[in-house]
Amino acid sequence: MGRMISLAFSDMELYEVALDFVEEIYSITKKFPEEERFGLTSQMRRAAVSIPSNIAEGNGRRYSREYLHFLYNARGSLMELRTQIEIANRLGYIFPEEHDNLLDFSEKVRLMLQKLIGSIQRKV
């Protein structure tokens, strides 16, 4: 089933960057219209929270293949969030600078996540 992993998620830079991204999403969505509270605001926050949550849960699993499964889930949530950022931009809920900043942040998370996935895949 693969080797056991030994990284502590709290020490991983990816985990910390993903938490920073959650904070950024919460900060930006505070400014969304009230009617979006149960719509786009909620969806973006859930997708953002899912990223570090899946990283942490996967790291707590016993085998590398299980960890990969959760990292793929984190990547899926990231892609979902990127789509929601584009929707928020099209609806005029975020400024162009915020849009660019969020996409840069998401790309940083994506690259780090892909690097970790590649590293673990080599161990399986």
pLDDT tens digits, one per residue of 40-94: 999 999 999 999 999 999 988 888 899 999 999 999 999 999 999 999 999 999 9
Which pLDDT does position 63 carry in this prediction?
87
Domains of the chain: 9-121 (1.20.1440.60)
| Residue 23 pLDDT > 80 | yes
Q: Which residues pair with 4 in a beta bridge?
A: 63
Give yes or no for a contact between 52 and 22, defined as CB atoms under 8 angstroms apart: yes
Q: What is the mean pLDDT of residues 96-119?
A: 95
Say whether pLDDT at 8 is over 90.
no
Supply the mean pLDDT for the chain. 91
Cα–Cα dist 82/88, whole Å: 10
Quick one: 35 exposed, middle or buried, by C-beta within 10 A (0-12, 13-18, 19+)? exposed
Q: Name the β-bridge partners of 63.
A: 4
